[in-house]
Amino acid sequence: MRESPAVAVAREVKEETNLDACAANLIGVYDFARNNEVIVAFHVPAAGEIRLSPELAEYRLIEPARLRPWPFGTGLALADWMRSRGLAVQFLPLPHG
C-alpha cells in the first residue's frame, strides 16, 4: 500500500529528528531544474524531544524573521512559508563566479 505525501513527511520527520508531526501542510511544489528535481515542500509543526538520526550532524533553532533563504530550490519554499506568516523575505545574494 502506498503512503500519501503527508504520511511520508510525518514518517521522515520521525525517523530523522524523533519528533512527532502534528500536521503536514503543503507549502508548494517547486521546479529545481538545476538538480533535475521537483521539490514538494511541507510545513510540519511537530512535538517531542529532538534526537537526530546518524544522517544529520546538527541542528539550530533560528527565529523565523532572521531566516535568509537562497533564491532557488528549497529557498523558494522557505520564502513562501515566511510570506504566509507575514514575514519579510530577504534572499541571500548569489555568489559571483
* pLDDT of amino acid 34: 83
Q: What is the pLDDT of residues 25-50, one digit of tens each?
A: 999 999 988 889 999 999 999 999 99
Give the whole-angstrom CA distance, residue 14 versus residue 17. Answer: 6
Parallel, antiparallel, or unpaired: how do β-strands 37-43 and 46-47 relate?
Answer: unpaired
Q: Do 9 and 24 contact (CB within 8 A), yes or no?
A: yes
The top-level CATH class assigned to 5-84 is alpha beta
Spans of all domains in the chain: 5-84
Q: What is the pLDDT of residues 47-89, one digit of tens each?
A: 999 999 999 999 999 999 999 999 999 999 999 999 999 999 9
Query: For the whole model, what pTM was predicted?
Result: 0.86
